[in-house]
Structure 1
Amino acid sequence: MSAQQHKAQVEAQELVAQSDTGARNLSGSLGYMVAFIAFFWSAFQLFVASNVPYWLEGATGINLIFNNSEIRFIHVAFGMVLAAFAYPLFANSKRDGIPWYDWVLAALAVFACLYLVVMRNQIADRAGLPTQMDLIVSTIGLCVLAICVYRTLGLPLVVVAGVFLLYAFFGNQSFLPDAVQWRGASYNKAMWHYWMQLEGVFGVAVGVSASMIFLFVLFGALLEKAGAGNYFIKSAFALLGHLRGGPAKAAVVASAMSGLYSGSSIANVVTTGTFTIPLMKRTGFPAEKAGAVEVASSVNGQLMPPVMGAAAFLIAEFTGVGYHEVVIHAFIPAVISYIALVYIVHLEALKMNLKGLPKPPALLTAMQRLIGVLTGFIGISLLGLAVYYILGFFKANIPGLTFPVVLVLFAAFYVYLVYVASKSPDLVVDDPNAPISELPRAGDVGKTGYYFILPIVVLIWCILLERFSPSLSAFYATMAMIVIVLTQHPLKAMFRGESLAGTYWRGLVDFIEGMIGGARNMIGIAVATAAAGVIVGTVSLTGAHQMIGELVEYLSGGNLLLMLMLVAMMSLILGMGLPTTANYLVVSSLMAHVIVELGAQTGFIVPLIAVHFFVFYFGILADVTPPVGLAAFAAAAISRGDPIKTGVQGFIYSIRTALLPFLFIFNTDLLLINVTYDHAIVVFVVAVVAMMLFAAATQGYFFARSKLWESAALLLVAFTLFRPGFWLDMVEPPYERSTGTAVMQMIGDAPLNTEVRLNLVGSDFDDPDKVTKRTITLDVGVGSGEQRLQAEGLSAMEDGDKVVLDEPFPGTKFSKELQVFDFYGDVPVTIASTEVQAERMAKEWFYLPALLLLALVIGLQRRRQTQPAF
C-alpha cells in the first residue's frame, strides 16, 4: 500500500472516530480507565436487560432492580462521561491526555444525572415545584449536555436544540411574527420540563436508546469483532466480483449486509469502502463515482431492517406500530432500492465498457454452482422469510418447540457450522491494493462463516415468532453473539486438532474489545437522543409543530404534492450533519405531524407509519447531500476524489431513494400494509421492475444509450407500474359521494367492515373566525347510520339540510383528533359529505399499455445495442 493510500485510509478512520467512537487516543492508565468505563456501560445494559436482577433479589434479597427512569438517567450519565473523556473539545486539543476541564465536565455530568436517581422520591413529592437545587442541577445538566453534543456531533444539533430552547423562553416576544408566538415559559417551568421529568432530555428517545438501541449496537459491534464484516465483504466479492463492475456491485451488497447491524452510514462507508473503493478505481471507476457508489449504498444501509440505523425502534415507539411490523413495512422499499442501485452500477459499467475481476476456474457443473449459490450467503436476503415461514410452521405444528428447545437447536447447529468452517482456513483481511489473480469461490468463502447468520436467526425468531419485545430479542441475540465470540476460536482449534493454548484468551480479548467498541459506538447516539429530547420537549411544551404546519400550509397553498415536496426539503435540511437517531427524532418531531394534519384537512389520509418513513428517508439523504454530507467526505478521503463532486454524484445515484417516499405515501402497498401474501409477491416483483426502469431512465442508458423521449417513456412506464391507481382515478372516481342529509343514508347503507370517509367542516378551535376541514374514516359495523356513528363514539343530528356533529366524549376514538374544531362556535361542525370506495375495474389493467410502451422502447434500443445487456 502506498503512503498516499495509507494516509487516505487513516483520514477516513479518523473521520469515523471523530463522529462515532471518539478521536482521543489514550494510552496507559487513562486508556484503561476509559476502556473500563465503556466495558462497564455495556455490562450494565446487559444486566438491566436480563432477568439476573430479579433472580438476585429472589436468591439473595439484594435489590438491584432499576426502573425505566433510573436506567435512562444512568444511560445518559455514561454517555456524557465518555463524551468528555473520548472526544477532545477543540480541534487543537491534545489527543493523548484528558485536560482538567474534562474531568470537571465528567464529574458534573455524573452529578446532574445521579441527582435524579438519589432524589427521585423527593422529586416525585414536589412535582412541578422545583427547589433552587433542582434548578441548579437542571442548568448544569443542560449546559454539560450541550458541550457533549458539540464535541461528539459538532455544531448543527447544538444550534437546532438551542433555537428550540430559546423559543421556549422567548417565544412570546413582540418582535416575533404573530404566527409563531406563544405565551412563553418561566425558567422554573422550562427547567423542570426539560430535566426533572421524562418529557424532555430523558423522554421517549432516551428510553428507546437505553432499552433497545444500545443492545442492537452492541450486537453489531460484537458481530464485527468476530469477523463478520470481512466475511460479508469477501462473500459479496466472491458472488459478484466477476460481473461487469463487479467490485461496485459487491460494495452495494456488502454495505447492505453491514446495514443489517450498523448504526452509522459513515462507519459503513469506511468499513466496506476501505476495501471496495480502491478495487472500483482499479476496474475503471473514476474516484468520484467509486466514492459515490459506496456512499449511496452505505446511506441505504440505514434504511435496511432490522436495525435501520437504530431508528426502527424509535419509529415503533412514536407510531405505536409493533417493531416486527416496522421491519415488515420497511422490507420492500429497502430491498428494491438496493436492487436498483446494483442495476445503476451495472449501467455505469456498461457505459464505460468495464469488465469484472477474474473468476476462479469452474470445477463444478452449472447445476452444482446454482445450488451452491442458492444455499450460500446470498440466501441471507431471504432469511427473514425463511425463519418466519419454515420455523413458524414447526412452531405451529410442534407445541413442544419452546424457546429453550430453539436454543438447544441453535447450539447444535452452531457446533456443526463451526466444524464445517474449521475445514477451511480462516479468512484474512486482504490489502485492497494488492493484485487479484482470481476471485475466491463463493462456496469456499461461505462455509467459513455460515454460523454468523445464527444470531440473526435468533433475533428474527424472537421478534417475529416468539413476539418478544425488541429489547429482550436483542438481549438473546447479543448473548448468542457473545457465545460465538468466546468459543469460535477454541472450537475451530479443537476440530483442527490444534493446540487450544491462546484460543480462549483470543476469544476473551475479542469479547472485551467488542463490549468496549459497542459502548464507544453508543456515545454519540446517547447524547444525540438526549439532545433531541430538548427538541421533542419544546414541541410538547409549545406546540411548535403547529406553527411549522401553518407555514407549510401557507407556502403550499393547500396543494398536496407541493406540501410533500416542502416537507421533504425541510427534512433534508434538518437532517444535515446529524446521526441517524437524532436525524429521525428531529424530522419526525417537526415534520411528521405536518403531513398528518394538512393531509387530513385536504382529505388525504395516510397511515402514520408511511408518514414517519417519508420524513426519515429524506432526513437520511442528508448524509449524502452536499455541502454537509459526511458520508461523502468519508468516501472522498479514501478515493482521493473531490468530496463535493462525490456528494453530488452520490445524490444522483440516490434519486431512486428520494422517489420511494412519494411512491409509498400514495401507494401503501409498497409498505405491505393490508396486503395478502400473494399480493405482496406481486407488489415486490412489479416494484423491482419499475425501480429498475426508473434507474435506466435517470442514467440515460437501457439496452443502449437512450434518446430523450425514450427516457421519458421509461419514466412513464415506471410511474404507471408504481401507481396505476393514478390513471384509474382519472377514468373512474375512487369514491361514491353523498352530501347533505343523505350522508346518514350512505353511512347506514355501507357494506359491513368497509371504510367510510367523513369530510367534516367547522370553526377552528384556535381561530373561531377560520373554518377548518378534517377527514376521518369509520370502520362500519352493524346497525343504522346513527348506530354506526355511536359505535365510533360520535353523535350527529339533522339540522335542516345539514347533519351537525356533536363534540365526542373524552376518551373516545376521535376525541383528540377532533380537538381542532370549536363545537360551540358560530359555525357548527357538520358532516359536509361522506365517501365510500366505489366499485371499479382493477387498476392492474393499466399495466398492459405500460408494458406495450416498454416493449416498443426495448425493440428500438435492441437495434442500437452494441454489447450484451448483462
Structure 2
Amino acid sequence: MAEEIKDVRDEGLEAARRMKEEEELGLRRVTGWSAYVVPTIALCWSLFQLSLSSWLLLDSTIIRSIHLAFALAIVFLSYPTLKRDVKIPGLRWLGEKHKIPLADYLIAILGVGAALYIFLDYEGIANRVGRPNLRDMVIGVFLVIILLDAARRVIGPALPVIAGLFTAYAFFGPYMPDFLAFKGVSLSRYVGQISLTTEGIFGIPLDVSARIVFLFVLFGSMLERAGAGRFFIDMAMSLLGRYKGGPAKAAVLSSGMTGLVSGSSIANVVTTGTFTIPMMKKVGYPDYKAGAIEVAVSTNGQLMPPVMGAAAFIIAEYVNIPYLEVCKSAAIPAFASYMALFWLTHLEAGKLGMKGLPKADLPAFWHTLKNGWHYLFPIFVLLYELIIPRHSPDLAAFRSIGVLSVIMLLQHVVRRKTKGLTVGEGLKLGFFDIINGMIGGARNMVSVAVATASAGIVVGVVTMGLGGLITSIIDTLSMGNLFLMLLITAAASMILGMGLPTTANYIVMASLTAPALVTIAEWQGFEVPLIAAHLFVFYFGILADDTPPVGLAAYAAAAIAKSDPIKTGLQGFAYDIRTAVLPFMFIFNTDMLLVGIDSFPLAIYIFAMTCVGMFAFGSATQGYFITRTRWYEIILLLGVALIMFRPGFFAHYVGIDNHYLSYLVGLGLWAAIFGLQKLRAPKPENLATA
C-alpha cells in the first residue's frame, strides 16, 4: 500500500510543497555564503523574541519597531522585486532568484533604518508629537512606501492597494460626493499618525504580533520540526482509519490537532494532506472530493483556539476582554464546525458505499502513542499554563517552547540505538532541529508581521475620523436592515480575504465593520456583543481560503490530489457552507458564544444541541442522512437546524417559557426523521460508526 500511495502523491506533493515554500520562505533560493544571511537574521529574530519573554525589558514601541525591522530585512532579502524573470539588461536584478542583488541589500538596510527610526529618535519624536520636522516627514513617507512594497512582495498587491486607496481617501475626502465626503487630513498629520505614533503602523496589531503571535508561530514551527505532524496523522489514522470513510475522518482529526498551533491553511494542507488525500482516494473518494475535504478541515484549523491563526490575540486587544474569554467564545462554533465535518465525511462515505481501510494497512495505536506521546506534553503544558494558573499567552508559549526544546534535544538520544547514533550525534541532531525550528518559525512570521503593520495603515486612517462615516455608509447600503448588513459584511470579508491573509483581512474588516455592526444593531433595538461582531468578520475572512478563483489552500490540495483546483475549491466551499451559517447564527443566538454563561453542564448541552443542528443542516445540504433524503425531509432537517440555532425564536413563536426546552423539540424532530429514514434504509450497515 505504501508504494501505491507514494506513486500517487509524489508529483502533486512536490507542487504543494513549492506553494508552501513560496508562502513561507519566499521565492529566492541562494547558494554560497549569502545562503546563511537570512537564516542568521531569522535565528537572531527568534532569540530576540524569546529574550523578551524571559529577561529583556523594553518599551512596547521599541519592541514593535525592532520586530518590524527584522521582518523587513527578511522580506527584501528573500523575495525579489518581481516574481517573473526580467530580461532587460541592467534591470535583471528585479527578478533575481538565485542570489541577493546589491540593490536589495541596500533596500533592506534602508527599510530596517526606517522601521527603527521611531526607536532611534524615541525622545525627539515624543517631544514633537503633532509637529513632525522635515526628517520625520521624509522617513515617515519612506516607511509607508517601503512597507507597502514589502507587503506586495510577500502577500500580493491586494493589501497595498487597499492601504493606498484609504490613504488617497484621507487626502481627497473633501473633494468626494456628499455621500462619501470626508474632511481630509494634511500630510504632516497623516505621517504623524501613521508612521510616528502607535495609532498606525506601530499599532495594536503589530504589538500583538511582536508580543504574542511570534511565540505561538515559533512553537508550531518547532513542534512540526520535532516530528509532531506525522505523529498526529498516524494517531488519527490508527483511531479512525478502519471506519467507513476513515481516512477523511482522520484528516479532520489530524488537521484539527495541527490547527491548534498552526496559523496557515496551506501548511495544514501540505502537512496532513500529504498522507490523507491519497488514502481518501484509495477508499473511494473522488480526487476533487478528497482534496476538498482536506481544504475544508485545514481552513477550519484557523478557527481552533488557542491560536486561531493569530487572530485570537488581536481580538482580545480590540474587544478589550481577557484572551481566555475569546477562546471561550470561539470554542463551541469551532468544535461544532469540526464535528459537522466528521458528519459530512460520513455522509459522503455513505453515499459512495465506502468501507474503511484494512487494519493491517493502519498504524498501531499503542505503538504510535508509545513512540510519540512526548509530542503531546508541550501542548498540555501550553493549555495548563493558559487555563489553570492563567499566565499570559506569551509566558505560556515561552514555557511550552522551553519544554519542547528539551524534548527535541533529547529525543534522538533516547532513540539512538534504533537509529545507530552515539549520544553526541543524537544531541547534535536535536540541537540542529531546535535551530532549524527557530529559523523556520521566524520565516513563517514574516507575512504576519508585514500584514499586521500594513493593515495598521488602514486602521490609522479610520481612526482619523472615518469611523462614523463608515457606519453611515453601511447603514445606507443596508437600508437599515440588519440581515442585509450582515450579508454585505460577509461578502466584503470574503472578497477581501481572496487577496489578504486571514489576519490582515480580519484587522481591516474589524476596523471598518465590527463597530458599525454593533452600532446599527443598537439603532434597531437589537444587541450584538462586540465579540460576536469580531468573530463574524473573522469567520468569513477564513472562508476565502477555499473560495475560487483565488483560494490557495484549494490549489495546494488539488496539486496533491491531482484534481481540478477550481472544482476542488467549489466542493470545499460547499463543505464549508455549514461554517458560513454559524456566524449568522451566533449573531442572533449568543448562547453559542457562551456570552453570560458560566455553567459547564449548560455549555456542554448547548454544544451538543448545536452539533445536532449542524448535523441536520449538513444532511439537508448533502441530500443524505441514513439514506438519500426526500424533499419533505430536507425541509424538516432545515427546521431542526433552525430550532437548534435559534431556540429563542422558536420558543417565542410557540410560547415556550424556557428557550432551552426548544432544543428538546428539535431533538425529537431529528429522531423522527431518523425513524422515517430507518424504515426505508436499504441496509442497516449504513449506520456504521461515524
Settle same-fold status: TM greater than 0.5.
yes
Q: Distance in 1 between matches of 2:293 and 2:208?
A: 32
Q: Deviations over 1:21-55 (max 9, x none)?
A: 212212221111111010000001101121x23xx
Extract structure 1 runs of 4+ deviating beyond 6 A. 1-4, 494-498
Counterpart check, 1:191 vs 2:191:
yes
2:105 match: 103
Cα drift, residue 850 of structure 1: 3.1
Q: Distance in 2 between matches of 1:450 and 1:580?
A: 32
Cα drift, residue 171 of structure 1: 1.4
Distance change >3 Å, CA 851–CA 459, structure 1 → 2: closer
Counterpart check, 1:484 vs 2:407:
yes
- What's the TM-score once normalised by structure 2's chain length? 0.94
Q: Distance in 1 between matches of 2:568 and 2:421?
A: 48
Q: Distance in 2 between matches of 1:580 and 1:855?
A: 39
Distance change >3 Å, CA 197–CA 851, structure 1 → 2: closer
2:221 match: 221
Cα drift, residue 729 of structure 1: 2.3
Counterpart check, 1:587 vs 2:509:
yes
Q: Distance in 1 between matches of 2:664 and 2:387?
A: 37
1:431 match: none
Counterpart check, 1:30 vs 2:34:
yes
2:88 match: none
Whose relative contact order is higher, 1 or 2, with alpha carbons under 8 Å and at least 6 apart?
2
1:422-571 paired onto structure 2 within 5 Å: 438-493=361-416, 499-543=422-466, 545-571=467-493
1:638 match: 560
1:844-855 paired onto structure 2 within 5 Å: 844-855=660-671
Q: Distance in 1 between matches of 2:168 and 2:533?
A: 28
1:304 partner letter: M
Q: Distance in 2 between matches of 1:844 and 1:124?
A: 55
Tell whether the 8 Å contact from 1:693 to 1:714 is kept in structure 2 after alignment: yes
1:279-428 paired onto structure 2 within 5 Å: 279-360=279-360
SS in 2 for 1:197: coil
1:834 match: none
Q: Deviations over 1:556-578 (max 9, x none)?
A: 22222222222211221222222
More strand by share: 1
2:144 partner letter: L
Q: Distance in 2 between matches of 1:848 and 1:250?
A: 31
Cα drift, residue 496 of structure 1: 10
Cα drift, residue 497 of structure 1: 10
Distance change >3 Å, CA 503–CA 844, structure 1 → 2: same
1:52-91 paired onto structure 2 within 5 Å: 52-53=55-56, 65-91=57-83
Q: Distance in 2 between matches of 1:8 and 1:724?
A: 46
From 665, 671, 675, the equivalent of 2:587 is 665
Cα drift, residue 549 of structure 1: 2.4
SS in 1 for 2:96: coil
1:18 match: 22
Distance change >3 Å, CA 648–CA 498, structure 1 → 2: closer
2:90 match: none
Cα drift, residue 114 of structure 1: 1.9
1:42 match: 46
Q: Deviations over 1:601-629 (max 9, x none)?
A: 00111221111111100111111111221
Counterpart check, 1:650 vs 2:572:
yes
Cα drift, residue 4 of structure 1: 8.2
Cα drift, residue 509 of structure 1: 0.7
1:150 match: 152
SS in 1 for 2:132: coil
Q: Deviations over 1:73-116 (max 9, x none)?
A: 01001101101111222122232211222112101111102222
SS in 2 for 1:714: helix
Counterpart check, 1:725 vs 2:648:
yes
1:845 partner letter: L
Tell whether the 8 Å contact from 2:547 to 2:569 is kept in structure 1 after alignment: yes
Cα drift, residue 860 of structure 1: 2.2
1:110 partner letter: V
1:700 match: 623
1:811 match: none
- What's the TM-score once normalised by structure 1's chain length? 0.75
1:541 partner letter: M
Q: Which runs of 5+ in 1 are unaligned?
A: 54-64, 361-437, 733-839
Counterpart check, 1:124 vs 2:126:
yes
Q: Deviations over 1:110-135 (max 9, x none)?
A: 11022221111111111111111111
1:163 match: 165
2:10 match: 6
1:139 match: 141
Tell whether the 8 Å contact from 1:168 to 1:542 is kept in structure 2 after alignment: no
Tell whether the 8 Å contact from 1:264 to 1:579 is kept in structure 2 after alignment: no
Tell whether the 8 Å contact from 1:599 to 1:605 is kept in structure 2 after alignment: yes
Q: Distance in 2 between matches of 1:27 and 1:328?
A: 47
Of all paired residues, the percent bearing the same amino acid is 47
Tell whether the 8 Å contact from 1:456 to 1:477 is kept in structure 2 after alignment: yes
Distance change >3 Å, CA 698–CA 30, structure 1 → 2: same
Distance change >3 Å, CA 568–CA 236, structure 1 → 2: same
Distance change >3 Å, CA 198–CA 716, structure 1 → 2: same
Structure with max Cα Rg: 1
Cα drift, residue 283 of structure 1: 1.8
Tell whether the 8 Å contact from 1:80 to 1:148 is kept in structure 2 after alignment: yes
Q: Deviations over 1:212-254 (max 9, x none)?
A: 0000000001100111011001111111111111111111111
1:181 match: 181
